[in-house]
Structure 1
Amino acid sequence: MDPELKRDLEELKKSLHSSNLSTRNRVLSIVKDSDYVNKVKEKYYPEIPVIPNDRCGRWYVDPKYYEHDLLPSYFKSTDGHTNNWSFSTRRLNLHLLSQIRERKGIIIVDSTRRGKKIPDSFSKTVPIWIAIINKFLIPDASFDDLFFTPEETVSEYEHSRILRLLPDFYQNVVKFEDLIKDKILANVEKSEKRKILKPFWIYPGCRRYPIFAESEEYLPIILLSASEQSQDGENKMFGYTYVQGAGDDHELWSRGLSPEIFWSKYEEITDFINITDHQADEIIDEIVTNAKQKESVSANGNASKFWRSEDIVKVTEILHFGKIDKNLSFKETEIDDAFDFDKVIVLDSSFNHQVEHEKEQRVFAFDLDSGSKKSSKRLRSVLSDIMELLTGGSDLRKTLIVCNSGEDLSVAVAICCLNHINGMDKRTITKETIRRDLIRLMGLRKVNPQRATLNAVNAFLMS
């Protein structure tokens, strides 16, 4: 083929592919997939609670079925990729256990791209997690009886290879047994026959939807894959191009749309089937702009109380950390007797802070955002400044650390503060001692610091 013609065809192919992945096609695909999730929930499992697997799963779980006192899971597909299998002590998901036991099971929703029936997070990551938790429940049992994978997507060979690694994964977790065993065994039946966890896989086109009785010797974890398998990840539908796993990596395509905004405008978005890509983009831009304006007005109206007690947890008598709302304004002159901290570190670029120069400053804001890899990398350069502000070469005073998620950057600073409180010396700090601090914080609230965030902590504490 003529090289120039070949190049033109490649460019045309890329252009068509980009058009197929338009925001309109993606949100209509999410509408289709979430409808499948709703039908499965309504028809087969009305009594079993449903939660999303962060982050992609949030697009597919209808708020009317999501009980918000239940926390989402966070299992990554990368922990289940072939030859990269692992049990992550950074993603212990121990908060799920009480939810599963109290409700006799749970449905977790996720999605996958590019031609797979089941995401690796469901076919391998969760099964590995279940096997390790089951081993804590029944230490004398063989992993052969505790490890389950879907036959339709995991070969016997791959299953056996993972099985051989499970004892090593278990031993790596046992190192932190003093921090996690009580949580794993909390509310477990006192009878001799403890119920293990057992996964079941459901996806568009699956042949059966298992039904469970309370007499079962296990607690079911239903792993519900929302997206329909498409050979190349795309499929022509009536009026749009279906995109498998459309909710993934939404920062790259959503134009600022979030799962929360998507569901608040669900009925309006379903009408996108009748308009063009360009018209859909204009409507989404308007929806997002209006949502941000409402968010900002609401936040400014509560400027003098910029945290909620339920979003903050106590680590020690002098150290607290947690979440702050976005787009808040705060004046040092508004500090009153209810302001119970000597110093507050705010890690949020949208925080509007007005300093009162005649008084001792108590609130310090840093232009960083949780969930941003760029901010996680920048954290390395500001951690020393933050710790100098907090300690000033002396003991830590009563301190609050907040970020806009309560799960990432605030966790990093809290770990550094813990090491200061405990008088840790750089010569005795290791990645394992830092991981122990992280697991301790996991026991207080759901946290999920990025790898880059933890790397910043390691670099600061160990160098």
Structure 2
Amino acid sequence: MNRILFPEQTESHEVTTPPTVVGASEHAQIAARISGFVESLKTLDLDFSAIRQKLTKPLRPIWVTPTSSLPASPPEFSSFHPVILLTASSRVSGSESTSETGYVQGAADDAEAWAQGLTAPLFWQNIETLLSTPEDMIEEVIVGLVAQVDGNKGAQLTGIGPGKRVAIGTIDAAETDALETDIVITVSPKESEVLRSKLKTRYLHLTLADGKVGSRQLRHSLPNLIASVKAQLSASPIPRIVVADVNGKDQGVGVALAILCLFITDDGNVLRPGEEVKEPPNGLNKQTIKQKLSWISVAKPDANPSRTTLQSVNAFLLG
């Protein structure tokens, strides 16, 4: 990020790692890969100028562990924005070591496994409640806070990319927020009677099981669905395409990604039947898919299609 946003500040371009955990050889291997990551990020064609306006100084990571000594008062950093990387786990020297100097047990990189939907903003908004809650009740309190936020967001669809011609969200949001001129696609074990009654032929449903099983089924279900979408796009005016699943984060996002790649141009226009993107080698490629996925990530950061879902979409688009 520093190399892209602050090309003139070369002192911020070097890799920073904690020497007590990352040895010289591992550090060198990390540093050697940065240039490739930079070039890959550039190809996504994101609006870096908007990010640069908000981020006035380079980033620099600072690690805090149970063995760290903290200053008595918060320090000021005039030349960079600190990114505090905090772990509550202790380093176990010589145990299960993938690093030269030790292994950080339970580094907690998989937030979905332990956070129960608790986000950083939600934590800080409710910090007094959370810190005063007994440990045996904390999970129940977190579930309640997350449910309250999800309920407030339930009736919202998120437009994706320039033009917002594709939107994603939950089935509940689609039932509330979808317009009669939209094409609405739901992805779940059962179709929505509300949307069927409201939209008639403009409602499409993809029956998939929950979890990995459904994500694997997606590869073989996409061809018929995409053919149905193509038939609907001859309508005038050009409709918005809404894709929804139970939580608005996984299988529906995969379907939306396929639609973005096939029917939405880089400037956000909808391709009519006969204009859709060609199959490889003259049309779609992995870079196109990455770029359209970045549109989704920017618009809806909590959209988190599983690896299995993305593999199914890639197999359909490139296979």
User: How does the TM-score come out when normalised to structure 2?
Assistant: 0.68
Number of the residue aligned with 2:184? 344
Distance of aligned partners of 1:209 and 1:398 in 2 relative to their CA distance in 1, 3 Å threshold:
same
Distance of aligned partners of 1:151 and 1:208 in 2 relative to their CA distance in 1, 3 Å threshold:
farther
> Cα offset for 1:136?
1.3
Asked if 2 retains the 8 angstrom alpha-carbon contact of 1:341 and 1:399, the reply is no
RMSD: 4.5
> Cα offset for 1:435?
1.2
How far apart are the structure 1 equivalents of 2:173 and 2:38? 47
Number of the residue aligned with 1:455? 311
Number of the residue aligned with 2:102? none
Number of the residue aligned with 2:263? 420
> 1:172-221 CA distances to partner (integer Å, 9 max, x unpaired)?
22223x324234313244xxxxx211111111122335865556111111
> 1:296-343 CA distances to partner (integer Å, 9 max, x unpaired)?
xx98xx9xxx9523x422446573322217xx5998xxx89x734432
Aligned residues: 281
- Matching of residue 313 in structure 1 with residue 159 in structure 2: yes
Number of the residue aligned with 1:436? 291
Letter in 1 for 2:184: V
Distance of aligned partners of 1:215 and 1:251 in 2 relative to their CA distance in 1, 3 Å threshold:
closer
2:213 equivalent among 370, 374, 378: 374
Distance of aligned partners of 1:247 and 1:270 in 2 relative to their CA distance in 1, 3 Å threshold:
farther
How far apart are the structure 1 equivalents of 2:285 and 2:26? 33
Letter in 2 for 1:388: A
- Matching of residue 392 in structure 1 with residue 201 in structure 2: no
Distance of aligned partners of 1:203 and 1:405 in 2 relative to their CA distance in 1, 3 Å threshold:
farther
Number of the residue aligned with 1:115? none
How far apart are the structure 2 equivalents of 1:358 and 1:433? 34
Q: Which runs of 5+ in 1 are unaligned?
A: 1-132, 190-194, 234-243, 273-283
Asked if 1 retains the 8 angstrom alpha-carbon contact of 2:219 and 2:313, the reply is yes
- Matching of residue 179 in structure 1 with residue 26 in structure 2: no
Distance of aligned partners of 1:453 and 1:329 in 2 relative to their CA distance in 1, 3 Å threshold:
closer
2:25 equivalent among 157, 172, 178: 157
How far apart are the structure 1 equivalents of 2:244 and 2:41? 29
- Matching of residue 221 in structure 1 with residue 83 in structure 2: yes
> Cα offset for 1:155?
0.8
Number of the residue aligned with 2:106? 245
Q: Which structure's CA Rg is the greater one?
A: 1
Distance of aligned partners of 1:421 and 1:168 in 2 relative to their CA distance in 1, 3 Å threshold:
closer
Distance of aligned partners of 1:365 and 1:394 in 2 relative to their CA distance in 1, 3 Å threshold:
closer
Distance of aligned partners of 1:163 and 1:211 in 2 relative to their CA distance in 1, 3 Å threshold:
farther
Asked if 2 retains the 8 angstrom alpha-carbon contact of 1:415 and 1:434, the reply is yes
Letter in 1 for 2:65: Y
Identity of aligned residues (%): 24
